[in-house]
Structure 1
Amino acid sequence: MSGDERKKYYVSVQAGQILRDQGAASYELEIMADYEEYNQLQVMFEELSSMDNAITGHYNYTVGTLQSESSDNRMNAGYDAILHDIYLFIHEHGTESTRKHVESMGILDPGRI
């Protein structure tokens, strides 16, 4: 089996999971990806999780102190950018129904899809 063979994967953005087995857990979207693309999406999910942990730590640390609104905005913008990249990737590699679902969410720039 070559590394560039495309397989169907079942993706849960909420859980940050990419599943090979459709029945292993709940999922929202389906993509077709090769090994390298699978790894690329996995890295994006890891980045999203790291950003989520950083935001949680940031808010826990700043509770009761004067928070910098610009710092909060930068952290939220970073999280949103990673999430946007994930949905763009899913749209590019998704099945027809997945692409339609992502488009219906209205989160991607129509000029980029």
Structure 2
Amino acid sequence: MQESKKTYYIDIASGEITQSPTASTWDFKIEANDEEITQLREEFDYNYNMDVQNFLRAHIPFDEYHNDKENHAQDGSLIRTYEMIYQLGDNEAKKHIESMGILPKQ
């Protein structure tokens, strides 16, 4: 039996996922089941942890961004986050993400 989907509102900057459209500002509206929300939350948590590590490492002057595997990992996670939002999002979310040009061409 497939889980029913619920409407969620996503704020990329804060990593917030809420079911209330008025609780805070939001960027994207999606329809997702519990498993999909758990996956999205894990991507946000990963990005947050990588942000902290990258902030600390940013104070090491000889680590260049383009040679930094942690930054590449975070970039990959951010793309996975946008891919999930694209797949689960409403038409407005899809159009916005398409306009950003960040997802790989398929």
Relative distance call for 1:3 and 1:108 in structure 2 (3 A) is same
Residue 48 of structure 1: aligned partner = 47
* Equivalent position of 1:37 in the other structure: 36
2:65 & 2:8 partners in 1: Cα distance? 38
Tell me the number of residue pairs that the alignment of Structure 1 and Structure 2 aligns: 106
C-alpha separation between the residues in 2 aligned to 1:70 and 1:97?
A: 33
In structure 2, what is the equivalent of residue 109 of structure 1? 104
In the alignment, structure 1 segments of 5+ residues that lack a partner are none
- Superposed CA offset, 1:4-33 (max 9, x none): 110010001111111111101100101100
The runs of 4+ residues in structure 1 deviating greater than 6 Å are none
TM-score under structure 2 length normalisation: 0.91
Contact 2:86 2:97 in 1 (8 A): yes
Q: Once the two structures are aligned, what percentage of the paired residues are identical?
A: 28
1:59 aligns with 2:54: no
In the alignment, structure 2 segments of 5+ residues that lack a partner are none
Q: State the structure with more CA Rg.
A: 1
